[in-house]
Homo-oligomer: A and B are copies of this chain.
Amino acid sequence: MELRHLRYFQAVADEKHFGRAAARLHMAQPPLSQQIRQLEGELGVDLLHRTTRRVDLTPAGEAYLVRVHAILQAVDAAGAEAQRIGQGLEGRLAIGCVGSATYSLLPALARALRAQLPGVDFAFRGEMLTSDQVVALRDGSIDLALLRPSGDAAGHADLTEQVLRQEKYVVALPDGHRLATRSRIRVADLRDEGLIVHSGHGKSAMYDAVVGLCREAGFEPVIRHEVAETSTLVTFVAAGLGVAIVPEPVSELVVAGAVHRPLATRARIDLVVATRADDRSALLARTLCVLRKQIVA
């Protein structure tokens, strides 16, 4: 049995007339009769009751017609859906994001994506460590990662990475801190401050970046607290537990009791977008397009 048989049956059932149905199908009447008989033969049921004056449906034909309608519609719908998915207008895409972009870039991106690609089911996972995102990309639990540069770029041959933008640093200080009155702070000014950093050497790229800045300024940082989440980090600063060096967009996360001051340094921290190199999905391409527009704006 083929869809042809179902289409022909539907036409005959609609027209209740082999001749008219054949005309509608742009074919001659005899082959139409044959195909319908073939269908009935295959099913082992008479679907139509023929008289020379009119054709009508048997009870079995009535029931079959309903099913056939649904099937033919489902065939069309399946094709249409596949097309939309192929064009990246529909589907699922999971996006990972480091903590320091979770409260600035990610919400704006989510809004833009929902507006631009309303048919797509996006899943956002913020506060992810760079190293976890690499794993998640590889195992498919995310499809796009917003992360910081990791030391071993060589180990990411299967990933495509691109620098989205280079972010300045700011210092997060408790409200009444002695440095809070300065308009700009040098790294060296933090020599005697207790620092709050993201936890785990080799896991958080920010940890390594902050330690690197201090060493470049000629001192070994005093690490007072290690925290997993950026929101916790700023909260700790507000609570007076120490100061922190964070990328500038973190200052968009406003917490009472914490203030941000520019860090006087030429150093910048890259925000990188990474994807699986073999991921050729149209949805990913469209998502990257929206992401880049977002960065420019």
Contact = CB atoms under 8 A, between A and B. Distances in A.
Interface in A21-55: 42-47, 49
Interface of A: 1-4, 6, 42-47, 49, 58-61, 63-64, 67-68, 70-71, 74-75, 77-79, 81-83, 85-87, 91, 280-281, 283
A60 B46 contact: no
Nearest to A91: B59
Given A3-B3, A86-B44, A283 B71 contact: no
A82 B3 contact: no
A140 to B, nearest CB: 12
A276 B61 CA distance: 19
Given A42-B79, A47-B82, A71-B78, 15 more contacts: A2-B2, A2-B3, A3-B3, A43-B82, A43-B83, A45-B82, A45-B85, A60-B82, A60-B83, A60-B85, A63-B78, A63-B81, A64-B79, A67-B77, A70-B74
A78 B82 contact: no
A79 B43 contact: yes
A70 B75 CA distance: 10
A75 B71 contact: yes
The residue among A46, A75, A83 with the most chain B CB atoms within 10 A of its own CB is A75
Contacts of A64: 78-79, 81-82
Contacts of A44: 83, 86
